[in-house]
Amino acid sequence: MQDKSILEQYVEIAGADVVEHLRQLARRLKGLHVVHVNSTRVGGGVAEILHKMVPLMQELGIETSWEVIEGEAAFYQCTKNFHNAIQGNRVNIPETQLKIYEETNAQTAEILRESLQDADIVLVHDPQPAALINHFPDRKGKWVWRCHIDASRPFRPVWKYLRNYVSQYNASIFSLAGFAQRLPHPVYLIAPSIDPLHEKNVELDEREIREVYERFKIDPERPVILQVSRYDRFKDPVGVIQAYKLAKEFIPHLQLVLAGGGATDDPEGEIVLNDVRSAAEDDPDINILVLPGDAHRTINALQRAATIVLQKSIREGFGLTVTEAMWKNKPVIGGDTGGIRIQVTNYHTGFLVNTPEGAALRIRYLLHNQDKLLEMGLKAREFVRENFLITRHLREYLTLIYVLLHGEKDRIELD
Amino acid sequence: MEANKSETAPFFIKDCALIAIATGKRAQNLRELREHLRDISPNSIYYHFWGGLLRPRFDDPEYHNDFAIWIAHGLHNKVLAERLAVIDPAKLEAPEDLRDELIETIEEYLDEAEYLTWSKRDDQFEFIRSQMVVFDTHISVREPEEFVQAVPRMAVGSIFYHFIDGRRRNENSLDDFQNWLLEFGNKYNDLRMNIDRIDPYFPPLKVLRDELSEVFNNYFKG
């Protein structure tokens, strides 16, 4: 697998027809200069996708580069505040931080001038580099702002500030229609994706899966339900424990694993984790794991070891943990919210639920219907293969580039 | 009079890719939906009826257009959802007919309704439109018999473009296959009738490809 080009590796996973479609679509884009700009090369979903997206576009003959905006601690504090405010938290950002944000963008604009000024397409990811556009009044190409955040209910004063920059772009991209804001340019909808070759998603051998059973003292002979998510009230980990307890009355050998990130700069996280621990009441069949941010293979193995995966969120962005679990042949019991809704369909890839009771009922249903569980798992994987792999994401980026270059027509016929 | 091989232009197999665009128009109840339906672009109505074939959904969804899906799940109104679900866009020739049919059905229900239900804020109907990029695959067919080999190899995007999208591009509202066969005069009338019997609305594109393939295969190899 290693000796093959990236596209060839995807032929085996996504299918030869999918890769051929990409090649045909990219044929007329050869030589085009595309630049992605984000705020980090390491960590986070955006960087993960760009690590594959950029070489894939290069392999298709598109001159693609990846630039990063960097700043001091106050810059990141400001952009973290932007992130929280776009998600709806009432965050008042001090003027001093905004000034640093603007200065960092101005300085970065000078560093990146050569790369960005003449690029045909510039894809700016999230708010961190959004203000760069202010410094390129004579830009040659089309600039697109890609918002990976759920902006359905932004904190208005902060959105108003950012909107001044975002409005200057030729277009923007949101993950779902419900996440989008009105803007004075076309707002495209492109769902995120997972990379099947990433450590989080690659196939693992049995030994590695067995190892997590041993490490976390999970009994491989008994059913395991799993939720992977940070300890956040919107992910409803306490509701997961309630569902587990309700189901355990009927399935006494049931085990629950909650796997989430460690205490970060989010003070709420520690409080929620304490609530989770007290709700678990020292039940030996509940495993509460606090894993480091780079424990990708461990998460991968846990998802493969689980019988059913839960994502019982009350509010959710796209929910890529759902996609990851489905890719591993797991039916998902998910909260009826956000992007979980377009991934989970009742009786096909899992169940949508609104309460711990609903989740408990579906756990019992699946554990008593093993054939259905396996069938839904297979369907889930195929659904992800067709819709949520990076190859689909890339196809939509290529389509977007054409429509940016050819204007607002409903149908663009290429020669 | 029948055209011969040399007089008929080849059938160029094309492929397409669709990208969705948020219109910013949203509805939280039936009245809002009806008001937007009055002036939303025909492209958006088309997208909500046919776009499902090219985006994430299951092969056997409960309802086949986005309006019926939302009314069933967002407004929990199964009665109207069923009435809207039976609207078959393949049977309506002009895009405006589809708009009229939708509005008429909703208004009829509004006349009967005692009160309006509202969807949750996160469950609003989002009007979406799309842009399509069409490209040549550099594969062409000169004789109808060649479709026996060519159809099974066609991408789903090609099936969408020729079998679905063709109906709104061609003045006679026929798909591209039938439209091209007409150039041979009456020679392939039976074949055209068999293609015409394929219901384009319900099956997913892969199944449509299989059905088309079977029609060509039976006709030429039968």
* Three-class DSSP labels, A41-68: CCCCHHHHHHHHHHHHHHHCCCEEEEEE
What is the edge-to-edge ordering of all strands in the sheet holding A350-353? A286-291, A255-261, A224-228, A308-311, A332-335, A350-353
Share of chain A above pLDDT 90, in %: 87
Q: What is the pLDDT of residue B185?
A: 94
Interacting residues of A183 by C-beta distance below 8 A, sequence separation 6+? A163, A166, A167, A172
Residues of A with Cβ-Cβ distance to B135 under 8 angstroms: 24-25, 27-28, 414
Q: Tell me the per-residue pLDDT of A349-374, one tens digit each, with 9 for 90 and over.
A: 999 999 999 999 999 999 999 999 99
Chain segment A193-240, per-residue pLDDT in tens: 999 999 999 999 999 999 999 999 999 999 999 999 989 888 999 999
pLDDT in tens, A128-153: 999 999 999 999 999 999 999 999 99
Give the whole-angstrom CA distance, residue B214 versus residue B222. 9
Are B19 and A400 in contact (CB < 8 Å)?
Answer: yes
Evaluate if residue A87 carries a pLDDT over 50.
yes
Residue B122 and residue A337 in contact, taking contact as beta carbons nearer than 8 Å = yes
Instruction: Indicate if the pLDDT at residue A2 is higher than 60.
Output: no
Chain A CB contacts of B15 below 8 Å:
21, 24-25
One DSSP character per residue, A195-251 reads -TTSTTTS---HHHHHHHHHHTT--TTS-EEEEE--S-GGG-HHHHHHHHHHHHTT-
Q: Each residue's pLDDT tens digit in chain B (222 positions)?
A: 455 555 789 999 999 999 999 999 999 999 999 999 999 999 999 999 988 877 766 656 788 899 999 999 999 999 999 999 999 888 877 778 999 999 999 999 999 988 899 999 889 999 999 999 999 999 999 999 999 999 999 999 999 999 999 998 999 999 999 999 999 999 999 999 999 999 988 888 999 999 999 999 999 987
pLDDT digits (tens, 9 = 90+) for A111-132: 999 999 999 999 999 999 999 9
Q: Which residue in chain A is spatially nearest to B27 when comparing CA positions?
A: A178
pLDDT above 80: residue A272: yes
Of A246-260, A263-277, B93-107, the range with the lowest mean pLDDT is A263-277
Nearest CA in chain B to A414: B135
- Taking an 8 Å cut-off on Cβ atoms, the answer to whether B135 and A189 are in contact is no
Q: How many CB pairs under 8 A join A and B?
A: 91
Asked if A346 has any chain B CB less than 8 Å from its own CB, the reply is no
Q: Output the CA–CA distances (angstroms, integers) from residue A183 to A37, A86, A167, A320, B23, in the order listed.
A: 21, 15, 6, 26, 10
CA-nearest residue of chain B to A315?
A: B122
Cβ–Cβ below 8 Å for B136 and A414: yes
Nearest by CB to residue B22, choosing from A180, A399, A414, is A180
Chain B residues close to A409, C-beta within 8 Å: 131
**A interface mutation test: which of B14, B18, B19, B28 has the most A CBs within 10 A?**
B19
Q: What is the pLDDT of residue B56?
A: 63
Closest C-alpha to B18, from B58, B40, B46, B37: B46
Do A386 and B56 count as a contact with CB atoms less than 8 A apart? yes
Min Cα–Cα distance to chain A from B81, Å: 18
Contact assignment for B58 to A348 by CB distance below 8 Å = yes
Nearest residue of A to residue B129, measured between CA atoms = A410
State how far residue A386 is from chain B, nearest Cα, in angstroms.
8
Write the CB contacts of A361 (distance below 8 Å, at least 6 apart in sequence). Answer: A353
Tell me which residue in A188, A386, A395 faces B20 most closely, judged by beta carbons: A188
CA dist A218 to A42, A166, B193, Å? 31, 48, 62
Question: Hey, where are the domains in chain B?
Answer: 16-129, 138-221
